[in-house]
Amino acid sequence: MSDLFWLTDAQMARLEPFFPKSHGKPRVDDKRVLSGIIFINRNGLRWRDAPREYGPHKTLYNRWKRWSDKGIFAQMMVGLAADHGEQTT
């Protein structure tokens, strides 16, 4: 599938400061998983319809759920907006 979305190394470098610390077992490849989560959300797909290049759909969902519950994605958005001079309230 040639229409897959992949975060660039520069984009990953901007996101990494917001990642929670890994405790115990290392996380599955952040770039692959986050690219898959973005692909699913951008295309309005069900988790189980994720292309296999992003890894198991359950891994994508679990990361999305855990990080959403912890507010990680919200912190990323606030931090990225602040980097561009946006006002945070």
Do 47 and 61 form a contact (C-beta atoms < 8 A)?
yes
The domain locations on the chain are: 29-82
Structure tokens at 51: 């292309």
Give pLDDT, residue 1.
Answer: 46
Residue 31's contacts (CB-CB under 8 Å, 6 or more residues apart) are 6, 7, 12
Place of tokens 């290392």: 26
CA distance 42 to 38: 6
Per-residue pLDDT of the chain (89 residues; tens, 9 = 90+): 459 999 999 999 999 999 998 888 889 999 999 999 999 999 999 999 999 999 999 999 999 999 999 999 999 989 888 866 545 55
For residue range 64-74, list pLDDT tens digits in order.
Answer: 999 999 999 99
